[in-house]
Amino acid sequence: MRSDAFPGPGPLLRRVACAAVAVGAALAAGAGCERARVEDSAVEKFPRSADEIEFLDALQKQVVVTNDDALHGLISFADGADLSTTYAGRVEVAKRKKWIDDSWNRPADESAQVGWMATAGCRILGVQGGATMRIFGPIPRYATKELVFMDVLPLRTENQSLSGREFVDYLNRLGRVQKSGRALALAEESERQSGAGVIPAGSPNQLIDQSSVEFGLPSSAFTAPQAPAPQPIVVP
**Domain membership flag for residue 223:** no
Counting the structural domains of the chain, the total is 1
Farthest-apart Cα atoms in the chain, separation: 117
pLDDT score, position 37:
87
Q: In 10 A of CB 165, how many CB atoms?
A: 21
Distance CA(226)–CA(234), nearest Å, equals 24
Distance CA(59)–CA(63), nearest Å, equals 9
Residue-number span of the structural domain to which 157 is assigned? 42-209
Handedness of CA 121, 123, 128, 132 (dihedral sign): positive
pLDDT score, position 134:
74
- Residue type at 225 in one-letter notation: P
pLDDT score, position 230:
58
Distance CA(225)–CA(236), nearest Å, equals 33
User: What's the pTM value of the predicted model, to 2 decimals?
Assistant: 0.67
pLDDT tens per residue across all 236 residues of the chain: 444 444 444 544 444 344 443 433 333 333 346 788 888 889 999 988 888 999 999 999 999 999 999 999 999 999 999 999 999 999 999 999 999 999 999 999 999 999 999 999 999 998 887 777 777 778 899 999 999 999 999 999 999 999 999 999 999 999 999 988 877 765 434 455 555 444 455 544 443 333 334 444 433 333 334 445 556 555 55
- Residue type at 3 in one-letter notation: S
Nearest of 114, 91, 157 to residue 122 by alpha carbon:
114
pLDDT score, position 55:
94
**Domain membership flag for residue 135:** yes
**Domain membership flag for residue 191:** yes
Taking each helix axis as running N to C, give the angle between helix 67-79 and helix 164-180, from 0 to 180 degrees, rounded to the nearest 10: 20
Q: What are phi and psi of 17, to 5 degrees?
A: -65, -40
**By three-state DSSP, how is residue 110 classified?**
strand
**Domain membership flag for residue 17:** no
**Domain membership flag for residue 32:** no
**Domain membership flag for residue 233:** no
**Domain membership flag for residue 12:** no
pLDDT score, position 189:
43
**Domain membership flag for residue 232:** no
pLDDT score, position 24:
39
